Amino acid sequence: MTKVNKNFSDIPDILKNETRENIFNANIKAGKYIDKSNLYKTSSVQKELTKIYYFKCAYCEKKLLDTDLHIEHYRPKSVYYWLAYSWDNLLLSCGQCNRKKRNNFKIENSMAIYNNEEFSNIHNLSESYNKIEKPYAINPEKEDVFDKLIYDENAIIKSSDKRVLYTINDLCGLNRNELIEKRIQLITDFKNVVEDYFYSFSQDSDEDIKSNIKFFIPLVKDFVSKVTLESEFYTFRRFIIMNIDVFFDNEDIKKILKVLISKLSNA
> Min. distance of Cβ 171 from Zn ion in angstroms?
11
Yes or no: say if 28 and 80 are a contact pair by the CB < 8 Å rule. no
Nearer to Zn ion, 57 or 260 (CB): 57
Nearer to Zn ion, 95 or 148 (CB): 95
> Min. distance of Cβ 59 from Zn ion in angstroms?
5
> Min. distance of Cβ 65 from Zn ion in angstroms?
12
E strands within the chain? 70-73, 90-93, 150-151, 157-158
> Min. distance of Cβ 1 from Zn ion in angstroms?
10
Yes or no: say if 203 and 252 are a contact pair by the CB < 8 Å rule. yes
Residues of this chain that bind Zn ion (CB under 5 A): 57, 59-60, 94, 97
Please write down the long-range contacts of 96-100, taking CB distance under 8 Å and 24 or more positions apart: 96/60, 96/173, 96/176, 96/178, 97/57, 97/58, 97/59, 97/60, 97/70, 97/72, 97/172, 97/173, 97/174, 98/70, 98/72, 100/171, 100/172, 100/173
Nearer to Zn ion, 24 or 59 (CB): 59
Nearer to Zn ion, 129 or 136 (CB): 136
